[in-house]
Amino acid sequence: MEPKSKVVRGYPLLFGYLGYFLMMIGFIILLPLLAMLIYGEQTSEAKYFIVPGVVAIIIGYLLSQLLRYKETSKLERHQDIQLIFLVWVMAIIFSAFPFVFSGTYNFTQAIFESTSGYTTTGLTVVDVTQASKAFLLFRSLLQFFGGVGLVLVITSAISDKYGMRLYYAEGHNDKLLPNLARSARLILSIYAIYIIVGSILYSLFGMSLFDAFNHAIASLSTGGFSTKMESIGYYQSFPIEIITMILMLLGSTNLIIHLFIFKAKFKKAFHHIEVKFFLILIILFIPVMTLSFASFNGGSFFQNLRVGLFQFLSAITTTGFQTVEQFSGLPYLINLCVIILMIIGGGIGSTSGGIKQYRVALAIKNLYWNIRDKMSHQRTIHTNYINKYGKDIIVTTEDAQNNQSFMIMYLLTLIFGTLIFTSFGYTLEESLFEFSSALGTVGLSIGIISIQSHPIILWTTIVGMFIGRLEFYVLIIALTKFTMDLSKRKVL
């Protein structure tokens, strides 16, 4: 006798979908076992990954049974956002357990490393000189799946009527093809090609294949986890720096712009507001940073341009690789430039963090429009346009207000986090630099974050990284919805 089909709605539906994602998270945790099979080292560490990976798969399978016989389903309002929130929280928690089971890190440090990976930040408490290849690969995989998006990965395999809602709720706005699953698979294919090509190029210029693969992932995901303590600076290689800069730039650029370039639609790509804004940033910041490095280091113009350009791209793409020994000893002007770039961030619909170049450019345009309207002698009603993906689109008052609200929330969070850091005795410059890096999911450090950092510093950074990746509206809506439903006892 066939089981009766049923309507699944509300939290049973939400937890059923969460089950699919937990199974995927479990497989992600098991992937580092490949490094043990290939390199045959530290096989005793296998249990650190097997236990949480298998547990996640089992729990996920059990939860997915809530959807087993569903014929129709109905997610309540905002439950797509709740699901995104839960997926990311569960991913971070389960992926922290391999670090905990290793015995080297406590729970706070493990959550920190897992959050830094998934949010593609790159701040770390791990001593990479002592870490096994399995753990180094694990960190890189967290950045890959966090960068492309956990929802995007599973959407490439399955797609139903809620796929689009989840896709946009995670922060994607780069649906490249009419079919969502095909669009997701295309995005993954593009990233895979970039990683393969990047790995080959790195190998040709002296990296081991393992290091090349890890750095290709870290560059493209704008994550910044390195297998070397000195980051990219370890190699002292201009070709490797060039490859890294190209991959960072690709990772921080919306994939729609990539498609324009592939199809030779250069005019459309160039007219996109973010491309123009990025070129302006190059003109403004590269000379200042180059001259500042020259006055500090001496040396040739080319050498200082090389250092300045790399740090500019590392900051604006929110990758966090570095070729300088440390930022704590650099002139204030250089660090100020880096802070501003980390706050601005990369392109919308990319793996980058920060406020995003689109929002900053729109805010500047809106300021210009306001001044223009106030200076106008005639009561002329202007229609305001910006070029987005090669098309002129109208910017409404609501669009401008939403953009302004986001930027205000971002800057208030930045101030609050910075003040927490200063309360532990760090200078304003150090605190602003470090929390800008966390909130922008960058990963550059002035020296505050380490395995010895106070738990409050680590948890403040964890919250900053999480907010920076999922952004404010997802957190506010999800937490408000959970609180309201708990008060009405709708969750249970």
Maximum Cα interatomic distance, the chain, rounded to a whole number of Å = 83
Q: pLDDT tens for residues 370-390?
A: 888 888 776 677 788 898 888
Contact present, 360 and 440 (Cβ < 8 Å): no
Q: pLDDT value at position 1?
A: 46
Q: pLDDT value at position 162?
A: 53
Q: pLDDT value at position 11?
A: 81
- Is there a single domain that holds both residue 274 and residue 168? no
In a domain, 295, yes or no: yes
User: Which of 450, 465, 486 is the C-terminal boundary of a domain?
Assistant: 450
Asked if the model's pLDDT at residue 169 lies above 70, the reply is no
Domain with 37, as residue range(s), is 6-175
**Average pLDDT of the residues in 162-172:** 57
Q: pLDDT tens for residues 114-155?
A: 999 999 999 999 999 999 999 999 999 999 999 887 767 666
User: What share of the chain has pLDDT > 90, as a percent?
Assistant: 65
In a domain, 466, yes or no: no
- Is there a single domain that holds both residue 430 and residue 324? yes
Mean pLDDT of the chain: 89
- Is there a single domain that holds both residue 157 and residue 287? no
In a domain, 225, yes or no: no
Structure tokens at 106: 């406590």
Whole-angstrom distance, CA of residue 317 vs CA of residue 315: 6
- Is there a single domain that holds both residue 139 and residue 288? no
- Is there a single domain that holds both residue 17 and residue 145? yes
- Is there a single domain that holds both residue 305 and residue 438? yes
In a domain, 107, yes or no: yes
Beta 391-394 vs 70-74: how paired, if at all? unpaired
Burial state string for 363-380 with b = 16 or more CB within 10 A and e = fewer than 16: bebbeeeeeeeeeeeeee
User: Which of 175, 191, 209 is the C-terminal boundary of a domain?
Assistant: 175
- Is there a single domain that holds both residue 153 and residue 273? no
Q: Bigger pLDDT: 454 or 84?
A: 454
Q: pLDDT value at position 195?
A: 96
- Is there a single domain that holds both residue 279 and residue 170? no
Stretch among 146-150, 274-278, 461-465 having the lowest mean pLDDT: 146-150
Into how many domains does the chain fold? Answer: 2
Stretch among 158-172, 260-274, 301-315, 340-354 having the lowest mean pLDDT: 158-172
Asked if the model's pLDDT at residue 66 lies above 80, the reply is yes
